[in-house]
A and B are shown apart, each in its own frame.
Chain A
Amino acid sequence: EAGVTQSPTHLIKTRGQQATLRCSPISGHTSVYWYQQALGLGLQFLLWYDEGEERNRGNFPPRFSGRQFPNYSSELNVNALELEDSALYLCASSSDTPNTEAFFGQGTRLTVV
């Protein structure tokens, strides 16, 4: 069974551009979580999608947005990129069974220059 897959693995963008990151959850999982892991800041919760709806949002500006598609895959969009957006972005998925663990992808490393 395929795990959580993220693409691309690496992304280099210029300040002010937009970045789009993609995530495919494990088959049968309906929840997708996005996290930002910037150097020295640990794992910061960004967004949680479940059944196509945004369920919760972390303390990030509106230029961080996303969506979940009918097949439960998800996109994270970051507009007007800033240098401090450089980070590893991790996607995780979980099933709709309460309190089961989340499974993580390998991440997309975004570098803003």
Chain B
Amino acid sequence: AQSVTQLGSHVSVSEGALVLLRCNYSSSVPPYLFWYVQYPNQGLQLLLKYTSAATLVKGINGFEAEFKKSETSFHLTKPSAHMSDAAEYFCAVSETVFGNEKLTFGTGTRLTIIP
């Protein structure tokens, strides 16, 4: 079985400060991991994905995430927060079991940027 835990349902950072959104996963097979962003009243947009290639993954809008197997983590970071980063962020895990695919999301982290 697979699961995702996002630590902190709300995170606030000052504009220009480091953004760190935490995600830990549980998976019985090597996982594929994703970060999505949701702006108000919109669907989810893929930020980045880990598919067993490089452990440091770079995404759109200056975000990146590092896969750490030993810590079962896939935290999302951005060196300098921008007001436009205010949104809800979802971590997701996918694993293929017996040829079928299942996508499981975390509960989300709402990021607020303080001017």
Q: Which residues of A contact B (CB under 8 A)?
A: 4, 31, 33, 35, 42-43, 45, 48, 50, 55-56, 90, 92, 94, 98-99, 101-107, 109
Contacts and interface: CB of A to CB of B under 8 A. Distances in A.
A90 B36 CA distance: 13
Contact of A43 (B41, B51, B90): B90
Interface in B12-52: 32, 34, 36, 41-46, 49, 51
Nearest to B93: A99
A94 B34 contact: no
B102 to A, nearest CB: 6
B103 A55 contact: no
Interface residues of B, number: 24
B45 to A, nearest CB: 7
18 contacts: A35-B105, A42-B106, A42-B107, A43-B44, A43-B105, A43-B107, A45-B104, A48-B102, A50-B101, A90-B43, A90-B44, A92-B103, A98-B101, A99-B94, A99-B96, A101-B49, A104-B44, A105-B43
Interface of B is mostly: strand
Contacts of A98: 96, 101
B70 interface: no
A98 B97 CA distance: 10
A100 B8 CA distance: 27
Contact of B105 (A45, A101, A103, A107): A45
Nearest first, the 5 closest Cβ-Cβ pairs linking A and B are A42-B107, A104-B43, A99-B32, A104-B44, A98-B96
Contacts of B44: 43, 90, 92, 104
B95 interface: yes
A35 B100 CA distance: 18
Given A90-B43, A104-B45, A106-B42, A99 B107 contact: no
B7 to A, nearest CB: 14
Most buried by B among A4, A90, A99: A99
